[in-house]
């Protein structure tokens, strides 16, 4: 307890008079975090998620609630229904949304998760495999600001063995998640196969990873500070000044510029843009997506819409039999509307409103029983002409999950518990 307290006081520099929203799964990591922060007499609020994927899920929820009841701690409980081939990512999005809802209600920015040093090692390995930027290769930050919220990982530099030891010494209840021992997820495959070999080669591996994390974050922060100072809220890149920086800073300036414009980043794209900015040719363009391009003209570079594309995004209206609508509009309703327009029934368990009609974006993905398929590949396979692709309407929920593409696709992997009818007044009922 003393070691944990000393490190907490040294590393966690936040306003501890505010409530702390804790994501508590019931595993040893999060239960020790809850017990530790409670013993520090901090104002803690617990959020527990039941993913309904395991036999012990309900028992786990009761154990967390019993602990909260014993010590008079506010307990928030959410049952999550995630019907998606990308379960891990979709569940993470839902968890973050509910955690931020609780934090907003309590007027606090602080959300605590129980990631530890072993998690950090696994994250580093995963990002090295997938590819990332300098910050991604570092794994995780102990304190991260995301929008209006501050995510805190108080145990990031403690190993799991120390958390298990704490639980034994202080009689902290917890349950083991049996899914941690299956090879279904990439993280587990590293944990069960590669990590034991690495620890055998170097018993001090976790301390090496901690040092590696500190060094990369320090390097990233130094580079990003120069980037922000250079950009100064500008919406373009001054090329003569850009050329004065080292390649590391140049790459980060490009990455920052793309991030601000919500462009997916990869190393090849950054490298391509750097080559264009450093070349002697005065006028060049780099295609960033179907909608955006980087335009270099003499001593300046900007991101602009592609000349031939105008992106549209419209919020769907809720309608009934008496609603007045116009051609090219969409609506949704809980009951079928008598109309000659194109209408589809969408069955679902969990989608986030409002619904949107928009043009397609790079990275759009369709869901099927057998898995996922990129919309781009679907359109190529279906031999949809380029002009029609640019003007397609895509119906999504508020999390950008594709529900319907009129005449082409209906998402039938959303569940069966509820249903709505979506109507496209620019399409005819007899269309396929």
pLDDT in tens, 326-370: 445 889 998 888 878 889 999 999 899 999 999 988 889 999 888
All domains of the chain in start order, with CATH: 2-205 (3.40.50.620), 233-305 (3.30.465.60), 313-428 (no CATH)
Burial-class residue 216 by CB neighbours within 10 Å (0-12, 13-18, 19+).
middle
Confidence of residue 234 (pLDDT cuts 50, 70, 90): confident
pLDDT in tens, 200-219: 999 999 999 999 999 999 99
Cis? peptide before 354, omega within 30° of 0: yes
Burial-class residue 26 by CB neighbours within 10 Å (0-12, 13-18, 19+).
buried
Quick one: CA torsion of 195, 196, 200, 206, rounded to 10 degrees?
50
- CA separation for the pair 249, 264 (Å, rounded): 19
- CA separation for the pair 302, 247 (Å, rounded): 20
Bridge partners for 366 per DSSP: 373
Other CB atoms within a 10 A radius of the CB of residue 220 amount to: 19
pLDDT in tens, 154-185: 999 999 999 999 999 999 999 987 767 677 77
Other CB atoms within a 10 A radius of the CB of residue 46 amount to: 23
- CA separation for the pair 111, 103 (Å, rounded): 7
pLDDT in tens, 54-70: 788 899 999 999 999 99
pTM over 0.75: no
Nearest to 243 by CA among 280, 277, 272, 284: 277
Burial-class residue 334 by CB neighbours within 10 Å (0-12, 13-18, 19+).
exposed
Q: Percent of the chain at pLDDT above 70?
A: 93
Between 86 and 93, the more confident residue is 93
Query: Helix H segments across 311-392?
Result: 375-381, 386-390
Tokens of 183: 């090879």
- CA separation for the pair 253, 32 (Å, rounded): 41
Supply the pLDDT for residue 254.
Answer: 95
Tokens of 143: 């304190």
pLDDT in tens, 400-431: 999 999 999 999 999 988 999 999 887 655 44
Residue 91 in this model has a pLDDT that exceeds 50: yes
User: What mean pLDDT do residues 36-59 have?
Assistant: 92
């Amino acid at each position: 307890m003393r070691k944990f307290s000393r490190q907490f006081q040294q590393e966690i520099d936040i306003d501890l008079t505010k409530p702390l929203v804790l994501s508590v799964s019931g595993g040893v990591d999060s239960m020790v975090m809850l017990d530790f922060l409670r013993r520090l007499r901090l104002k803690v609020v617990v959020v527990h998620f039941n993913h309904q994927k395991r036999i012990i899920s309900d028992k786990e929820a009761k154990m967390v609630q019993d602990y909260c009841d014993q010590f008079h701690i506010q307990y928030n409980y959410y049952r999550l229904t995630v019907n998606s081939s990308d379960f891990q990512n979709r569940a993470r999005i839902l968890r973050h949304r509910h955690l931020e809802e609780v934090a907003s209600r309590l007027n606090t920015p602080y959300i605590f998760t129980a990631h530890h040093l072993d998690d950090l090692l696994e994250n580093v390995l995963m990002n090295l495999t997938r590819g990332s930027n300098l910050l991604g290769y570092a794994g995780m930050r102990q304190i991260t600001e995301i929008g209006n919220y501050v995510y805190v990982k108080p145990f990031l530099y403690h190993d799991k063995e120390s958390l298990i030891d704490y639980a034994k010494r202080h009689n902290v209840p917890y349950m083991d998640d049996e899914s941690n021992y299956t090879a279904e997820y990439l993280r587990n495959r590293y944990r069960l196969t590669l990590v034991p070999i690495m620890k055998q080669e170097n018993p001090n591996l976790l301390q090496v990873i901690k040092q590696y994390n500190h060094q990369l974050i320090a390097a990233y922060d130094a580079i990003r500070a120069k980037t922000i100072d250079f950009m100064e809220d500008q919406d373009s890149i001054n090329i003569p000044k850009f050329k004065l920086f080292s390649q590391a800073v140049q790459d980060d300036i490009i990455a920052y510029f793309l991030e601000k414009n919500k462009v997916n980043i990869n190393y090849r794209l950054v490298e391509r843009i750097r080559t264009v900015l450093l070349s002697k040719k005065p006028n060049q363009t780099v295609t960033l997506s179907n909608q955006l391009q980087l335009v270099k003209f003499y001593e300046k570079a900007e991101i602009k819409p592609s000349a031939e594309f105008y992106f549209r995004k419209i919020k769907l209206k809720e309608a009934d039999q008496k609603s007045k609508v116009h051609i090219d509009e969409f609506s949704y309703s809980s009951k079928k509307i008598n109309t000659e327009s194109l209408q589809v029934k969408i069955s679902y368990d969990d989608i986030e409103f409002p619904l949107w009609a928009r043009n397609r974006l790079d990275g759009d993905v369709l869901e099927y029983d057998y898995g996922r398929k990129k919309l781009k590949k679907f359109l190529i396979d279906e031999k949809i002409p380029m002009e029609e692709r640019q003007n397609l309407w895509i119906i999504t929920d508020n999390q950008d999950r594709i529900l319907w593409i009129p005449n082409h696709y209906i998402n039938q992997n959303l569940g069966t518990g509820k249903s709505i009818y979506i109507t496209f007044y620019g399409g005819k009922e007899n269309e396929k």
